[in-house]
Chain A
Amino acid sequence: DTAVSQTPKYLVTQMGNDKSIKCEQNLGHDTMYWYKQDSKKFLKIMFSYNNKELIINETVPNRFSPKSPDKAHLNLHINSLELGDSAVYFCASSPHWDGELFFGEGSRLTVL
């Protein structure tokens, strides 16, 4: 069983479209995250949720809206996609705050 799973793994879409990426973890962790990895491989935190509550919103444009229906799921919806949104988006979960993140395999988004 995959611990942190993301779908889809690849997503190719046109500018202006709306798309969603789903994430599920079966580790029983309370905290989940979204990170963005750009073409230079820099990892930047976007959001974190603790037990369905938004904890961190790292100055991400309003077009990005995370949703956590329960503590095992954290989805990312992106409206009006732009070219600069092309990146690999990683979901992660953590059992506690001190940094042991468990990452999914990533979702590569390409905006044309």
Chain B
Amino acid sequence: GQQLNQSPQSMFIQEGEDVSMNCTSSSIFNTWLWYKQDPGEGPVLLIALYKAGELTSNGRLTAQFGITRKDSFLNISASIPSDVGIYFCAVPVNRDDKIIFGKGTRLHILP
């Protein structure tokens, strides 16, 4: 079945560092989504990308929809403690209301 490969699985960084993570697939998608899950909460949508090549920002977050439609990237600039959490990429599949998620990138900020 369709699968999203998300990397890295975990990141340990210092506060203030920039962060990059990505999501790839062997299938083409028309929408890429990035969600964040805080501990004990449900995931929350950060950025939605609807067009190949699109670059979209939301504060310190920037995401890109890959030209091949098979990948997407999320960057966080100048990380702060509240950035800690799990970041998931997700895609809708086949217009049948099915949204599948990558396995997540766990972001940790070292004290």
Contact = CB atoms under 8 A, between A and B. Distances in A.
Interface stretch (B12-20, B42-50, B52-60, B69-77): B42-50
B92 A97 contact: yes
A4 B44 CA distance: 12
A63 B77 CA distance: 45
A103 B97 contact: no
B33 interface: yes
Interface residues of A, number: 27
Contacts of A50: 97
Contact of A99 (B40, B92, B103): B92
Interface of A: 4, 31, 33, 40-45, 48, 50, 55-56, 58, 90, 92, 94, 97-106
Given A98-B31, A99-B33, A100-B45, A45 B99 contact: yes
Given A92-B42, A99-B92, A103-B42, A43 B31 contact: no
Contact of B88 (A33, A43, A45, A106): A43
Interface of B: 31, 33, 35, 37, 40-45, 48, 50, 86, 88, 90-92, 95-101, 103-104, 106
Contacts, number: 70
Nearest to A97: B97
Contacts of B92: 97-99
A23 to B, nearest CB: 11
A106 B37 CA distance: 11
A100 B98 CA distance: 11
Contacts of A90: 42-43
A102 B44 CA distance: 7
B101 A99 contact: no
Contacts of B44: 103
B27 to A, nearest CB: 15
Given A41-B104, A99-B31, A31 B97 contact: yes
Contacts of A97: 92, 95-97
A43 B45 contact: no
